[in-house]
A and B are shown apart, each in its own frame.
Chain A
Amino acid sequence: MRIVKYVYIVLLAAMVVACARDKEPAEAAIKGAGQAIDQIRGEASRYAPDQLKQLEDSLKSAQDAFSKKDYKAALDAASTLSAKAQDVAKAAAAKKAELTKSWEDLNAGIPQMMDALKSRLDILSKAKKLPAGLDKDQLAALTSGYDEAAKQFQAAKDAAGAGDLNKAIEAGQAIKQKGMEMAAALGLKQQ
């Protein structure tokens, strides 16, 4: 009976030592993971928000386990987070490159579209009579639509300049659609 008691105590002590042994590595892994996530947060929050949230949730799990003195679980949860943060950074960079390309296409194309619309509207504004299928009210609406699109394009460029490519692209696509509708009303065709 006494031997069993000793074995029990020894086993318990071994478990305590094993757990304590993971404390410092777990603490270091959590700290490292937190730093790695902080480093990528800026771009990731903009271009890979879902993946960033997963990382932050995993870090929180590791911190919770550490608080409960479950150092092994904390170490397991935190040890891969730095590498995962780099994967998220790569995904964010890829998404940013994709959005940048989309915006550059819009930013190069919209002025061409706007120039063609403005040219036609300027000429029609000087006409004493309008062509068949277009009356003064329609021309006024198209001119107003052009002015609005020009303002929206400036806002899109401002958004892109501020780094909000999603907003810039959304606005740019809306301008393109509106511009193409105006072009159709003016008889201009997409070549």
Chain B
Amino acid sequence: MDGASDEDLMARISQGDERAFRLLARRYLPRALGLARRVLGNEADAEEVVQEALLRVWLNAARWRPTAAFRTWFYRVVLNLCLNRKRRAPFAALADVDEPADPAPGPFLEIEHRQTDRLVAAAIAGLPDRQRAAIVLTYQEGMSNAETAAVLGASISGIETLLVRARRALRKALGSVLASER
């Protein structure tokens, strides 16, 4: 069953197959956790949101129809839950989140990378929610503008506007970092 497609697993899950559900959960957990963590800036909240999203997959499996890729639909559920939670809870700055250790070759380079990462994280954290989500999907998930639009439930032109604004804001905020990178 390990090689089964997402759609095949969803068909099994809709019949109540818990093993298929756990396999699909394991397949998407790392990416979904990364996405939620980037949007929420909080590890505990990210875990709760992903758990909730997976439970919704289980609950609604019988109603799901493969009109879109499972990945697109699932990320949309995760993002909607993240955005709902962010409206309810006070925002924890992404800059405050400890980044996982980077296997950099030397301590000085690692310090430099960490400083740059903090500045980039702070700049991304300063973006409005939907702009940040668009940036995460584009750069972390490598999604096209059309896929990002599907996940965020927006038109492609709407996503392009979000990305233009986000990139311009980030470039402005990271001007000094970009200059030192050259």
- Are A and B bound to each other? no
